[in-house]
Each structure stands twice: as structure tokens, then as C-alpha cells.
Chain A
């Protein structure tokens, strides 16, 4: 197989970005001359365009005023701008991140523990199996309005929505992992004198880890989805709220800024998971020298 240099790969990636951004930025300018080539969807009214998104970003993040003048840090303009809008881009990102984090962590921890317990007990898994299948058949997002109704428009409803989409994902992966543990490992541990708890700690948990991690990258995206949907339905702050507000004003740029911020947040969170996984599952990387 032919190998390509990293530079070559990066070159292609830059080129693709340039093409997409260019079409986005200038594509609709050709609409009047070449109407058959340019779909209506490229209209900046719907999807905005990179330059408008950028300037909107600067305004929403209080880096510039609405007239495009840079808000000074030392003269207090920046702070004043932030204070004027309690759901400014920074505050909205922070609140969405915070709720995503709590939804993710509670979902992962509870899903992991439940998966481990049921995965290790034939009795319990036999009892709970139909309930789990039934609840899992519900599209979790459909519960979001009920959750907002029950927990109010504050942070709690976002955390619960996020938790409910994450917990099942992690649960099923952990459950499968705990079921598929190599009996040779548990036998070896038992014959070396391990107690049940020692087997759980030194064999079951580490060998289930690979399964759990396989679910964490989707889980973090799901956690974010849960929070955003919760914010769509009812919230005072957060990125989802920003999107809804911009939509009400028919402001595509505002929505796009929120979407781009969400994308960046998602990328950063996934990268953190990847690093954690690479460290905790480092034993999987070394391949045989044979």
C-alpha cells in the first residue's frame, strides 16, 4: 500500500475546508447569473456566511460592539457588555458545558454501576431484562418536555435530560462487556485466591473498560444533545437558548455562531475522552513484536 506523508493529508484537508468555506461565502453571489447551478439553500438568509458569522461571533462574545468597534478591556466596555446580557456567548457556553458535564458524569457512573451489577448477575439481568428493553425502546428525547415540566426550566432539567440519554448507552456497553469477560481470567484470579470483590476490582472492571470507553465518545455527544434539547424546550440561559432566540429573530448568523461553538465544544470534549482512553487503555496499543 502506498503511504502518504502527513503534510499531504493536511494539504487535502486544508483544500477541502477552503472549498467549502468559499462556496459558503461567495457561492450565492452566482445565483443571479447561474440560477441552475446554485441551489436556493445557499441563500445567506438561511445559512448565513462565514464573514457574517465571524462578525456576529465578535458581537455575541462582546469582543466588539454592534458597530464593530473593539470593546476595550481596560476601559470596562467588555465587562459592561457582558453584564448587559446575562446569556452572552461566554455565559451560555459555560452553562451548557456545566450541564453537559454533570449529565455525562452522572450518566456514565450510574450506567457503569448498573451495567456491572446486572452483567455479573444472571438472576438480576433475567428479572430486569424486559423492563430495560421496554424503556430503551422509548426515544429518550421524547421525554425531554416531561422532564422540563417536572424539573423546571433551571439547570436540573438539562442535567436529567442529558443523564437519561447517556445512562442507557453506557449501561448497555458495560453490560455487554461484563457478560463477555473471558472465563479464563476470572478462573485464573479465583485460583490465585481472589475473593469475589477482588475479582470485580482486578478483572471485571479492567476488562470491561474497553467496552465502556467505546461508549464514551458517543456518550459525550449525546450528553450535549440532551442539554441542547432541554434548552430548546425551556431555559433562561445556554447555547440552546441562544439558538432559539436567534431563530425567533430570523437571524441565521446568530444560530450559526451557536452551532459552531457547539461543534468546537464537542471536538474538545471528544479529544479529552480520546486522551483519557489512550492512557487508561494503553495496554491495548502495544502489539506483538512477532
Chain B
């Protein structure tokens, strides 16, 4: 048993504190004639305002879990509660924002119109919308690009715009599926800074899927480690760096190196298993 494990700490949360509850979740896909078990009996809770990283090799079902929480995929078994209410597959849960791995900015809308999309859906008047868009554009460092189309932007800029499109409707729960996976290392760390600043201010509950241990350590309060297929929870780790964090400096602390090494071996085993599977 790892000293860093937090199962006892988890048990001490009062039920009211639990924002997201995942209970005995499982998912199997039918592919041709074989059944693929993607997720097996996954249970965890996420506290209000907690930043949780779901870490694991590709094919460990972590994205599948996230998509089930987002109501995009129907679970084969188990249930998900958000604020005590059951998630209904195919029906978006209010207050839940989702950031995709691949930015899904609408290419036919300008950057500004993309960011303001959620407000437009909600019927927010144009004038009010314009002000909010301007704020978000400034926050994302996209000033001067409001009227450009996404195709004119770099990968990092697009992902910032996509992040703002999700954040403008002020979701209380943020689901992120490897949002920075396609970015180069520097752009990625820039994005970590942007995300950390926003999260420190808004204190959303975040579920962040990644296969990048460094990213998980930089951002999260807690790391849930997934095993190779079928995806199960292998371990949980508390990341106790002080807040607010600096995305660059945190990587230079001895504690970071210690945690990194500790989790690395556990993660590495799953990568090997994932390869042979």
C-alpha cells in the first residue's frame, strides 16, 4: 500500500461535498464479432472545486469514462451522479462544460462568434454577448483575432479559443479530454498557466484526462491512475503542491521529482501491458 494513497481521505468527505459520483461504471463495445471491455467497475468521487486528473495509457478507458460522465456515451453498467442527480445519456447536463482533445471550433464562425456560441444558444442579447466575448478574447490572449476564422489560427490559439467557448457559459464542472495533447511542449505549458489562473479564480470542479504524467502533476489535486484495458482504477495519488502553482516552477521542485518517480513506475507498467494487449 502506498503512503500517498488517499482512499481513507476520500471516505471522510461528507456526501454534500461530492460533486461527481461514479459508481461501478463499466462499458463494453461491440466491434465486429468481438466484445471489447473498455471500462470495468470504476468508482470514484470528486469533491466540489477539486481538480482531478485521470491518468493512464491510451486504451485505458479514461476518455470513455469522461464521455460517459459527459452523457455522450451510454454506460453498460453502473451509474453517474452529478450533484446527486443521475446523468441521462444523450442529454447534456447543465453546468457541465466539455473541452475536446481536438479543438472543435466551428470553421464557419469567426473566433469571436465561436466563443460566444454558448451565449447565443442561451439567447443572451447581442450587446451583452459582445462584452462577454471581448472579456474572454482578452483573457485568452486572442485580441485582434476576433474576426479571424479558426483556420487562420495556430494550434495553441485554437485550443485557447475552444477553452473560452466552453468557459464563457461558466460551467461549474469542467470535463477535459486531453485538451492539450496535440500541442508542442512550450505551448502546452503556456496552456497550463492559462488553465491554472482560470481555475484558481473560478474554482470549477475539473476532471482532466491525460496520458502525460507531468501535466497531471502540474495541474491536479489528485491523480486517478487507470490500468491498461480493461480500464480499472489502479491507484490514486494526492498531489499536494501549494496553490497557486506556477506551471514552470513546480516542475523544478524536489517534491515534483519524487512524485513523478513514484507514479512513473506504476504508469510504466500499464504502458507495457497496453502495448502487449
Binding site for B on A (CB under 8 A): 182, 184-185, 187-194, 198, 202-203, 206-207, 209, 281-284, 286-290
Q: In the A-B complex, list the 8 residue pairs whose CB atoms are closest, starting with the nearest.
A: A184-B104, A188-B104, A192-B118, A283-B149, A206-B108, A286-B152, A191-B98, A283-B108
Binding site for A on B (CB under 8 A): 70, 72, 92, 94, 96-98, 100, 102, 104, 106-110, 117-118, 120-122, 148-149, 151-155, 165-166, 169
Check A192 against B121 for contact (C-beta < 8 Å): yes
Q: How far is the CB of A43 from chain B (nearest CB, A)?
A: 54
Scoring B117, B122, B155 by chain A CB atoms within 10 A of each residue's CB, the highest score goes to B117
- In-complex Cβ contact of A190 among B92, B102, B110 (8 A): B92
Check A193 against B154 for contact (C-beta < 8 Å): no
Check A188 against B100 for contact (C-beta < 8 Å): yes
Q: How far is the CA of A206 from the CA of B107 in the complex (A)?
A: 9
Check B92 against A193 for contact (C-beta < 8 Å): yes
Q: How far is the CA of A203 from the CA of B105 in the complex (A)?
A: 11
- In-complex Cβ contact of A198 among B96, B106, B121, B148 (8 A): B121
Check B154 against A192 for contact (C-beta < 8 Å): no
Check A283 against B104 for contact (C-beta < 8 Å): no
Check A287 against B151 for contact (C-beta < 8 Å): yes
Check B109 against A192 for contact (C-beta < 8 Å): no
Q: How far is the CB of B123 from chain A (nearest CB, A)?
A: 10
* Chain B positions within 8 Å of A198 at CB level: 121
Check B108 against A286 for contact (C-beta < 8 Å): no
Check A284 against B107 for contact (C-beta < 8 Å): yes
Q: How far is the CA of A93 from the CA of B130 in the complex (A)?
A: 49
* Chain B positions within 8 Å of A284 at CB level: 107, 151
Apart from A190-B92, A202-B121, A283-B108, list 5 A-B contacts with CB within 8 A: A182-B104, A187-B98, A193-B122, A202-B117, A290-B155
Check A289 against B154 for contact (C-beta < 8 Å): yes
Q: How far is the CA of A281 from the CA of B70 in the complex (A)?
A: 32
Q: How far is the CB of A36 from chain B (nearest CB, A)?
A: 58
* Chain B positions within 8 Å of A187 at CB level: 72, 98, 100, 104
Q: How far is the CB of B204 from chain A (nearest CB, A)?
A: 15
Q: How far is the CB of B8 from chain A (nearest CB, A)?
A: 35
Given contacts A192-B165, A192-B166, A194-B121, contact A185 B104 (CB under 8 A): yes
Given contacts A191-B92, A193-B121, A193-B169, contact A288 B108 (CB under 8 A): no
Q: How far is the CB of B66 from chain A (nearest CB, A)?
A: 12
Q: How far is the CA of A193 from the CA of B120 in the complex (A)?
A: 10
* Chain A positions within 8 Å of B118 at CB level: 192-193
Q: How far is the CB of A285 from chain B (nearest CB, A)?
A: 8
Q: How far is the CB of B151 from chain A (nearest CB, A)?
A: 5
Q: How far is the CB of A190 from chain B (nearest CB, A)?
A: 5
* Chain B positions within 8 Å of A192 at CB level: 92, 97, 117-118, 121, 165-166, 169
Q: How far is the CA of A160 from the CA of B70 in the complex (A)?
A: 49
- A sample of 18 cross-chain residue pairs with beta-carbon separation below 8 angstroms, ordered by A number, consists of A184-B100, A184-B104, A187-B98, A188-B98, A190-B92, A192-B92, A192-B118, A192-B165, A192-B166, A193-B118, A193-B122, A283-B149, A284-B151, A286-B148, A286-B151, A288-B153, A288-B154, A289-B153
* Chain A positions within 8 Å of B97 at CB level: 191-192
* Chain B positions within 8 Å of A288 at CB level: 151-154
Check A287 against B104 for contact (C-beta < 8 Å): no
Q: How far is the CA of A24 from the CA of B38 in the complex (A)?
A: 72
Given contacts A185-B104, A185-B106, A283-B109, contact A191 B152 (CB under 8 A): no
Q: How far is the CA of A282 from the CA of B118 in the complex (A)?
A: 23
* Chain B positions within 8 Å of A289 at CB level: 152-154
